[in-house]
Amino acid sequence: MKYNFFYICGTFGELFWVLAYMLIIYRGLKDKSYGMPLVPLALNLGVEFVFSFYDRFNLLFSYTWFLLDLGIVYTYFRYGYSSFSKYYHLGKKQWYFISILALLIGILINLFGHQFFAHLLKELPDTDVSIFFSVLTCIFMSICRLAMFFQRGSSEGQSFIIACVIMIGNFLCFFQIVATSELYIWNNSLMRLILSIIVITDMYCATLLYKQLINEGINPWKRL
């Protein structure tokens, strides 16, 4: 019964991430912007690609995440150039080249990294290797979302609800991993520190977005 409870928590965490992706796409279309920075987007696409087509992790969620990631990629290419032109003074061809290269590198890092660690650490199941890369992506996601918020100086492409959904999703998934795994990779001080940093950063991002939306005269609870 105890393990069933933890696995239910993990399943809800995965569902929260499905909802987060859907809301990021919705907010991007609504704001004519994008809600996931390029670096975590590239790494995240790579994680979902490996989950879906390489180690066959939880196929229902893997395929769903991958397809929703493609939706986020669409909002990035549909609306992203204006931000890169404004903040980095890139030409459109440069932006396309950098963006496509980043997405390709994100997939290759996850694919080759998965093969490397699976060969190096033979006692580690394939799924745990991919989840490890997913956790590393999460820390990039949390930090880059904060950087994007400070750069834009507004709630563009983001919302308090999205931040809360991501925070809850991460917490539930991490809770299941730490509570059910007996592998050293998850039960050590460094990994618990990394997981704590991600959740705390997510909380900070949610707090900032809540205050920003209040300053913008928008009800944080009504903006999806």
Does pTM top 0.85 for this prediction?
A: yes
**Domain-by-domain residue ranges, the chain?**
2-215
Query: CB atoms < 10 A from the CB of 32, how many?
Result: 12
Least confident of 30-34, 91-95, 178-182: 178-182
Band the pLDDT of 31: cuts 50, 70, 90.
very high
pLDDT tens-place string over residues 139-182: 999 999 999 999 999 999 999 999 999 999 999 998 888 888 77
- Gap between the Cα atoms of 220 and 212, Å rounded: 9
Quickly list DSSP for 58-86.
SHHHHHHHHHHHHHHHHHHHHH-HHHHHH
- Gap between the Cα atoms of 51 and 47, Å rounded: 6
pLDDT tens-place string over residues 120-140: 777 777 777 778 888 989 999
- Gap between the Cα atoms of 154 and 215, Å rounded: 10
